[in-house]
A = this chain, B = another copy of it.
Amino acid sequence: MTISNRVRNAMEDSSWVRRMFEEGEELKRLHGAEKVFDFSLGNPELEPPPSLKRELKALADHPVIGMHRYMPNSGYSETRRLIAQFLTEETGLPFEEKHLVMTVGAAGGLNVAFKALLDAGDEVIVPSPYFMEFKFYIDNAGGQLRLVETNEDFSLNLMAIEHAIGKQTKAVLINTPNNPTGVVYDEKSLEGLGRLLKKKSQELGRTIYLITDEAYRRIVFDQFKLPAAFHYYPHALRVTSHSKDLALPGERIGYVAVSPRCEAVDEMMSALIFANRTLGFVNAPALMQRLVAPLQRNSVNVREYEEKRDLLYQALRSFGYQVVKPQGAFYLFPKAPIEDDLTFIKALQAKRILTVPGRGFGKPGYFRIAYCVARKVIEGALPGFKEVAQEYGLRPADA
């Protein structure tokens, strides 16, 4: 008896991811890191916008007394006030600072939300393919993950969701823009989902919550305007972070925003704040709360991601890969030409291209490409993608 059996089992379940990672490291040792095209991790290569660097310098030059102390567990009042103002402008809803809890990134925010909501055995419905960490987050709070299929283009399958809802359902979690598919859910989808959740909540005589993981919210392309779930359903929690829009993933700064129209919203906020405290986060990092507060309208140059998507998407299509053109995040999720995604990504590895098999997202037969990398990594990998396509007999698509 050493470590927790539960943790040992969970680690074994996910140990093939570790194996992938280690094989990638081995490749880099063999060939040199610059000869390996690493699309395996969503660790953005962009730097934070200049506005953030200016804010940091201003604070370092003129430190504020008490700026590293504890503040309320929900975060600085001023930070929450500015975000509430931003949300009100976006949605037209009367957001106030009391509707916000600053969190240790979106991962922290999701753990806080699940802790606040779930009792043992409560189910959370998640469309698949999905970010597999969700499973651990739900399990941490004693809940059960219930996966449902999406449509072929990875859009929401409302029938599948309706079918999965039962007396154990406490929440539906959607991730838009989506990891791993890059797909965003449009107004029609969210409207339909809102209508469905209203109907089912009424039928079952209790509220089903809608949690939206919007960590990639600002990374959208083609002038697409990401709709707010808040418009279509009152019992909605938005979990997001500044990891992607301000390129601060290592700093762990995000928030949970609850609709002002949510049932018993004050009790909900108390539960979220209690969870933030007792899960050991205590509060979101103080300095980062201060830095991001005035930068709600700032973001990295999203156009750079859009250009990389275009480059890679068009090339993969031209090589014959089947791939949905995504409108957000920085992932492509093509179909592997054979069922066994693990064998296929090893063929890519042989060309020094690192990707993640679809089974890492609950969807064998596909693979994920994280293109938040330098353009030259994408360009360098294209010949390898092409050669593997030819090996597997893919036929170039019409231009």
Q: Verify B282–A7 contact, CB threshold 8 A.
A: no
Q: Name A70's contact: one of B1, B11, B61, B250 (CB within 8 Å).
A: B250
Min CB distance A362 to B, Å, is 16
Quick check: is A251 within 8 A (CB to CB) of the other chain?
yes
Q: Verify B70–A7 contact, CB threshold 8 A.
A: no
Q: Verify B57–A61 contact, CB threshold 8 A.
A: yes
Whose C-beta in chain B lies nearest to the C-beta of A6?
A: B119
Surface stretch bound by B, among A108-116, A154-162, A218-226, A332-340: A108-116
Q: Name A270's contact: one of B6, B11, B61 (CB within 8 Å).
A: B11
Q: Name A271's contact: one of B4, B133, B136 (CB within 8 Å).
A: B4
Quick check: is A279 within 8 A (CB to CB) of the other chain?
yes
Min CB distance A193 to B, Å, is 20
Min CB distance A279 to B, Å, is 6
Q: Verify B111–A274 contact, CB threshold 8 A.
A: no
Number of copies: 2
By a CB distance below 8 angstroms, the chain B residues around A2 are 207, 263-264, 267-268
- A309-327 at interface with B (beta carbon < 8 Å): none
By a CB distance below 8 angstroms, the chain B residues around A283 are 250, 252
Surface stretch bound by B, among A41-49, A90-98, A351-359, A376-384: A41-49
Report how far A48 CA is from B68 CA in the complex, Å. 8
By a CB distance below 8 angstroms, the chain B residues around A110 are 280
Interface mask (A268-306 → B, CB under 8 Å = 1, otherwise 0): 101100110111111111111000000000000000000
Report how far A215 CA is from B282 CA in the complex, Å. 14
Whose C-beta in chain B lies nearest to the C-beta of A107?
A: B280
Q: Verify A281–B278 contact, CB threshold 8 A.
A: no
Quick check: is A397 within 8 A (CB to CB) of the other chain?
no
Report how far A85 CA is from B158 CA in the complex, Å. 56
Q: Verify B70–A43 contact, CB threshold 8 A.
A: yes
Min CB distance A176 to B, Å, is 19
Q: Verify B281–A116 contact, CB threshold 8 A.
A: no
Q: Verify A107–B43 contact, CB threshold 8 A.
A: no
Q: Verify A281–B104 contact, CB threshold 8 A.
A: yes
Q: Verify B104–A7 contact, CB threshold 8 A.
A: no
Q: A60-B56, A250-B69, A285-B250 are in contact. Are A267 and B3 (CB under 8 A)?
A: yes
Q: A263-B2, A281-B252 are in contact. Are A11 and B140 (CB under 8 A)?
A: no
Quick check: is A59 within 8 A (CB to CB) of the other chain?
yes
Quick check: is A164 within 8 A (CB to CB) of the other chain?
no
- Sample (7) of A-B pairs whose CB atoms are under 8 Å apart: A2-B263, A60-B60, A250-B287, A251-B285, A251-B287, A252-B252, A281-B281
* Supplied contacts A4-B122, A104-B281, 12 more A-B pairs, CB within 8 Å: A1-B206, A3-B264, A7-B115, A41-B70, A56-B60, A67-B250, A68-B248, A69-B250, A107-B280, A107-B282, A250-B285, A251-B285
Measured CB to CB, the residues of A under 8 A from B are 1-8, 10-11, 41, 43-44, 47-48, 53, 56-57, 59-61, 63, 65-71, 104-105, 107-112, 115-120, 122, 133, 136-137, 140-142, 170, 206-207, 247-252, 263-264, 267-268, 270-271, 274-275, 277-288
